[in-house]
Amino acid sequence: MQSKHPPESHRLRLGRTSESGRFYLLTTVTRQRNPVFSDLHAARALIRILARQHKVGKVASYAFVVMPDHLHWLVQLQDDRLDLLMHRVKSISSRQIGQLRWQAGFHDHALRREADLRKAARYIIANPLRAGLVDSVGDYPHWDALWL
């Protein structure tokens, strides 16, 4: 018998809206946690795509880190919706990076206070350190933050 309710992950999205001007911490993961972005060229291609979204005014990008198998991105949404933004980034990057396949969906966390921004940025850029990929944040090549 088929359930009348969508899977739990889809129910979490119901009623959720994108708010222009709001800050979001976005996370998305490669399919099967494939470490596609261990490759320098793949990581830099994704970074160029993120920069383009900033340049064309879809978001104001405040911080990001491209990990081997996922992306954390702190943005202020401008002229876009979260679902369209993430669909676009995933679609363009999948076309440009042959071996890249993304897991369906993404996680977003709306930030409530401007004070949360620096805390979120520190969390993002320290991800490679916590993962044991480097001994110092400065040793990891695939991140940027407005404040640093």
pLDDT in tens, 30-57: 999 999 999 999 999 999 999 999 999 9
Burial 79-110 (b: 16+ CB within 10 A, else e): ebebeebbeebbebbeeebeebebeeebebee
- Strand ordering across the sheet containing 70-77: 107-110, 23-29, 70-77, 59-66, 143-145
What domains lie within the chain, and their CATH numbers? 8-145 (3.30.70.1290)
What global pTM score does this model have? 0.87
Nearest to 81 by CA among 29, 6, 13, 7: 13
pLDDT tens string 103-143: 999 999 999 877 789 999 999 999 999 999 999 999 999 99
Distance CA 96, CA 1 (A): 41
Instruction: Tell me which amino acid residue 43 is.
Output: A
